[in-house]
Structure 1
Amino acid sequence: MNDVFDTMRESMEGVHMHTPVERIVAAGRARRRRKVTAIAAGAAAAGGLSLVVATGGQQVNAPPAGVHVQLAAFSVDSNADGTVTVKLTKEQTLDPATLQNALAQAGIPADIRINEFCDSPVDIPGFDKVMSDSKEGKEKDGQVVITIDPTAMPKGTKLIAGIRTRDYKPDNPSRFGAAFGLARVGDTLRCSTELPR
């Protein structure tokens, strides 16, 4: 049996790997997560970021520990303080159902739309606690980075988000990229394909 391993080892002596092992392992993990998280790709992520909000109240969603979803179009990562960091890669396409699923795993019920922008029929106060002013909408290395606190979401609410693709209404000079807010689960949203102001 050792002769087989020795022969294999000797046959590979001249072969050198240029890709770091950590990168190969990370890619394998991302593929496994992708299979578990969703079976789709589609619509597209956003240019700049603008928050269009209606929100707030006292909360209840306890995020599960250790959610880390890394895809080309977005990532969703649980933080030690209970918040969740979401990164949208503007050049990549995303499937809204896949992002919704990843957010749900992190304790954030959500309704994600592409090139459709929705408002809640009732004002829900407290959105500023769900998406903190100090961290919301930061853009870094071609990504829009937002931090969400699921424990600040009032009971029975969900995050609503409308994300504009790069090619949607290209003749419109608006730099608007995405709108976020809160709505009660079960409420009929008021939605439009027009870009929010």
Structure 2
Amino acid sequence: MNDNDVLNAMRDAMAEVHMHTPVQELVAAGRSRRRRRTAATATGAALVTGLALTLAINSPQVHAPPASAGNQVHVRLAAFSVDTNPDGTVTVKLTKRQTLDPEIMQRTLAQAGIPAQITINQWCQASDASQSLEADLQKVVGTGEQSGEKVMVITPSAMPPATKLIIGMRTEDYQPDSPNSTAISMQLVPDDAPLTCTTDIPPRPTDTPKPGPKS
């Protein structure tokens, strides 16, 4: 069967089919359906866009950038609190160190203008002892009292450029029978200083055995 035979067969088959609806009405109806589909598609896109904007505006900013030094920070959590003082110093109070999340505390200190690296039951120090800035540390970190409890008072402006605090904390249940009484160890080091870390509790100055008499 060639193409002409196919066309003739289709014409013969359709010969008895009669259209009772004018062509103009069929065309108009088709256009109307297309307009409704287009409007529905546009409405759906608008709803999706509106939802995306709502999520973007209302969702919490989990990875907010650290605030610059000098900004007022007042954070009170179960494990610690950080408060910026009117004179620019920052009061840090530890409560339940066993529940402290070091990353959260690091971000909080960063918002207060204090770069820090915090570890729990692990203590780090500069691999090169000459990079431990002990003299500057005495200017940066001090102690105070808040509601009758001892707290750390940190002065961000006293930190030399490109330095950070290295803070190691011991939980109450970590080696409770150890005669070493260190709870917190702090160092001030350059940002790029190589570090050596250990799980051995570093001795406090008062814990260091005094040398015996010379023989």
Structure 2 length as normaliser, TM-score? 0.58
* TM superposition shift of 1:90: 3.7
**Number of positions where the alignment pairs a residue of Structure 1 with one of Structure 2:** 136
Name the CA shift for 1:187/1:153 in 2 (closer, same or farther; >3 Å).
same
What is the alpha-carbon distance in structure 2 between the residues aligned to residue 166 and residue 66 of structure 1?
A: 31
What is the alpha-carbon distance in structure 2 between the residues aligned to residue 188 and residue 92 of structure 1?
A: 27
Contact 1:130 1:150 in 2 (8 A): yes
**Which residue of the partner structure matches residue 115 of structure 2?**
109
Name the CA shift for 1:66/1:117 in 2 (closer, same or farther; >3 Å).
same
Provide the secondary structure at the position in 2 that maps to 1:113.
strand
**Which residue of the partner structure matches residue 63 of structure 1?**
69
What is the alpha-carbon distance in structure 1 between the residues aligned to residue 107 and residue 175 of structure 2?
A: 28
Residue 87 of structure 1 aligns with an amino acid whose one-letter code is K
RMSD of aligned alpha carbons: 2.3
Q: Deviations over 1:61-120 (max 9, x none)?
A: x72321111101000110110100000004651000000000000000000000011112
Residue 174 of structure 1 aligns with an amino acid whose one-letter code is N
Higher relative contact order (CA 8 A, sep 6+): 1
Asked if 1:191 corresponds to 2:210, the answer is no
Asked if 1:180 corresponds to 2:186, the answer is yes
**Which residue of the partner structure matches residue 128 of structure 1?**
138
147, 158, 179: which is aligned to 2:153? 147
Q: Which has the larger radius of gyration?
A: 2
What is the alpha-carbon distance in structure 2 between the residues aligned to residue 157 and residue 65 of structure 1?
A: 19
Residue 139 of structure 2 aligns with an amino acid whose one-letter code is K
What is the alpha-carbon distance in structure 2 between the residues aligned to residue 75 and residue 36 of structure 1?
A: 21
What is the alpha-carbon distance in structure 2 between the residues aligned to residue 144 and residue 90 of structure 1?
A: 14
* TM superposition shift of 1:174: 2.0
153, 175, 178: which is aligned to 1:169? 175
Contact 1:130 1:149 in 2 (8 A): yes
Name the CA shift for 1:180/1:91 in 2 (closer, same or farther; >3 Å).
closer
* TM superposition shift of 1:173: 2.2
Aligned sequence identity (%):
47
Gaps of at least 5 residues in structure 2 are 1-59, 204-215
- 1:55-94 correspondence runs (5 A): 63-90=69-96, 93-94=99-100
Structure 1 length as normaliser, TM-score? 0.63
**Which residue of the partner structure matches residue 21 of structure 1?**
none
Higher percent of residues as helix: 2
Provide the secondary structure at the position in 2 that maps to 1:86.
strand
Name the CA shift for 1:37/1:127 in 2 (closer, same or farther; >3 Å).
farther
**Which residue of the partner structure matches residue 43 of structure 2?**
none
Provide the secondary structure at the position in 2 that maps to 1:126.
helix
